[in-house]
Structure 1
């Protein structure tokens, strides 16, 4: 079952059905879920997140739940809890640090329930894991990994705007000496394949996932700003404050208003591809770099469907990163992904 009927949820459900998987859709809004199910030609169920009995009914007979309803800091805890109670595998496409931090302490409970919990089975986290493993082959004793993500242009769905706002409000977080710590708003300039870009520190799920999956003691992530370094240093603290207070900026000049109600949509037809650049370095000055880009929505759907396939054939109980479930190179083998380095 795919929970969430925004743009990414519909893409995942469509891809799952096309792959021959027995597919249904679910969500919070019965009218919206019914409309989506009719368009896909699949069964549907609806239950609000604050109704445990309703969620139990929603998951009855479901082997794997894919959560595509954002913001996942809100939806994931209730759905993971329902999956633990119902013995249903859980997958989501989150890149929110909060989701990973809440999921990881549930490892023992997941093992007792005999289920696998996989946060981050989408472009944002799975592909970054793949690129990180690739560059670490060149610097196996790396002490630091740096991740830089470029934002796609064009319209953004309501879900991705809410998710981006939560990431911005959370401030920067990094892993240093194996410990998760707050990062000051230190803007860095990176020489990327597309040219120099200002990078804003963020606290995203990929920081946690890469640190867990690789054992590298220092991991940091940045999101590129379309402003220069000077303007970014001035704008970021104010933007974080606005995000924390729930203030919503109007669409930028020349940008159409976002659609409403969709989950995180990191790219799509007619948009710039989502891009990620990863660097590994060691104490002796050795450096290796790699990159990947793709239409995030298509990639996310393909990765989520592959995760479902693996779990339907029997997964390892516990809480896993997507790379641990799929294998470190699997995400980079998804059709449509370009990568190098």
Structure 2
């Protein structure tokens, strides 16, 4: 059973590779920077191969012997398409750790291609979006006639540099919700409300989280919003930013913001990985106004991502699902969240 972790030297990619090693696995580590790749491979005593996504021939040659690839190299809005196309060509199952709306929709658009190739396309096999996707599926099972779905999460963990870069690249596009089955672009901090995510009621705002895409494909519920806690001051700043967010769409501005982010720590500390747990919340409502809610406490998002990416990769190596696009809960079942639940 042969599988690859691409982008293994990024903050989260290294966590994925280390957890794979902990599980007794020997995935092929891959990426385009030989110096960084070799350092991680030597540290973990795992095989590696230098491969550039911009070289489709070399990429397909590298994937030809692999059953599964876990794609960890962002920004996924740039890197996902060439990797998906190469996976379809080589009949290699595709997994990634994205939370980017456009990537989920891209994967869904390639459903029929994946079916013909007999492979799985399942982006979001980490914190984005395993726990929220499983909560969505469980709420749908409890309320089959739900017409509205609201999800959210609360974490005290620091963002990794990769997550922060992805977030600033998205700022210029605004927020996103789903209405009547369609994804709608809305202003930043479009709506606010108070939510008890599981650790006390907090002021929260909408964000363009991946579940605006995935939860619809999981549940069929046509109206979806996702929230995180935010201070009233941050909400005011984001609302003001709506007037000039067009400026944030320029590539030079994105590059400038990314350079600022490079000055930050790579990601959460070891202490945060172990202690900064995440609270996940969901609410379903039907046409009669009945409401049900669900709360979960799970491990730190980056730790969950490292475990989830490996768990789903190993699941694929042991099972033969029909080809096509999947969300995590559609692929592995809504009980997948139980692996990452934290008690106490």
Match of 1:72 among 72, 76, 100: 76
Structure 2 stretches lacking a partner, 5+ long: none
Give the whole-Å Cα distance in 1 for the aligned partners of 2:221 and 2:343.
Answer: 25
**Distance in 1 of aligned mates of 2:290 and 2:185:** 27
CA drift of 1:296 comes to: 1.1
Candidates 95, 98, 102, aligned match of 2:102: 98
TM-score by length of 1: 0.87
- Which residue of structure 2 aligns with residue 317 of structure 1? 323
Encode CA deviations 1:314-336: one digit per residue, 9 max, x unaligned.
Answer: 23211111111111121x11145
How far 1:238 moved relative to its partner?
6.2
Cα distance, 1:142–1:236 mapped onto 2, change above 3 Å:
farther
Runs of 4+ in 1 over 6 A off after TM superposition: 249-252
Superposed displacement of residue 221, structure 1: 1.5
Please give the secondary structure, in 2, of the residue aligned with 1:110. Answer: helix
1:18 and 2:22 correspond: yes
Please list every run of 5 or more consecutive structure 1 residues that lacks an aligned counterpart in the other structure.
none
Match of 2:311 in 1: 306
* Residue 257 (structure 2) pairs with residue 248 (structure 1): yes
**Aligned counterparts of 1:83 and 1:249: Cα–Cα separation in 2:** 29
Q: 1:226 to 1:273 in 2, by over 3 A?
A: farther
By how many angstroms is 1:63 displaced? 1.1
Residue number in structure 2 paired with 1:113: 117
Please, which of 215, 237, 240 is the counterpart of residue 242 of structure 2? 237
Q: Is the 8 A contact 1:49 1:75 kept in 2?
A: yes
In structure 2, relative to structure 1, the CA distance for the partners of 1:249 and 1:31 (3 Å cut) is closer
**2:170 maps to what in 1?**
167
**Correspondence for 1:56:** 60
Task: Give the Cα–Cα distance (whole angstroms) in 2 for the partners of residues 15 and 317 of structure 1.
Answer: 27
Paired with 2:235 and 2:164, the residues of 1 have a C-alpha distance of: 24
Superposed, which structure 2 residues align to 1:57-206 within 5 Å? 57-154=61-158, 156-185=159-188, 186-192=190-196, 193-206=198-211
Partner deviation per Cα, 1:26-77 (whole Å, 9 max, x = no partner)? 1121111111111110000112211111212322311110011121111111
Is the CA contact (8 Å cut-off) linking 1:152 and 1:271 kept in structure 2?
no
Residue in structure 1 matched with residue 49 of structure 2 by the alignment: 45
Tell me, yes or no, if the aligned pair for 1:189 and 1:229 is still in contact at 8 Å. no
Residue 302 of structure 1 aligns to a residue whose secondary structure is helix
Q: 1:173 to 1:45 in 2, by over 3 A?
A: same
Q: Does the Cα contact within 8 Å between 1:46 and 1:58 map onto a contact in 2?
A: no
Distance (whole Å) between structure 2 residues aligned to residue 59 and residue 45 of structure 1 = 11
**Quick check: 1:294 aligned with 2:299?**
yes
Q: Check whether the contact 1:187–1:229 (CA below 8 A) recurs between aligned residues.
A: no
- The answer as to whether partners of 2:181 and 2:221 remain within 8 angstroms in 1 is yes
Distance 1:153 1:335 in 2: 16
Residue of structure 1 in register with 2:333 after alignment = 327
Alignment partner of 1:209 is 2:214: yes
Q: CA RMSD in A?
A: 2.8
CA contact (8 A) 1:145 1:280 kept: yes
Do the aligned partners of residues 240 and 329 (structure 1) sit closer, same or farther apart at CA in structure 2, a change above 3 Å counting? farther
Describe the superposition over 1:99-126 as per-residue Cα deviations: whole angstroms up to 9, x where unpaired. Answer: 0111111111112212111111111211
Contact 1:174–1:219 at 8 Å: present in 2 too?
yes
Q: Deviations over 1:116-148 (max 9, x none)?
A: 111111112111011122233433211100112
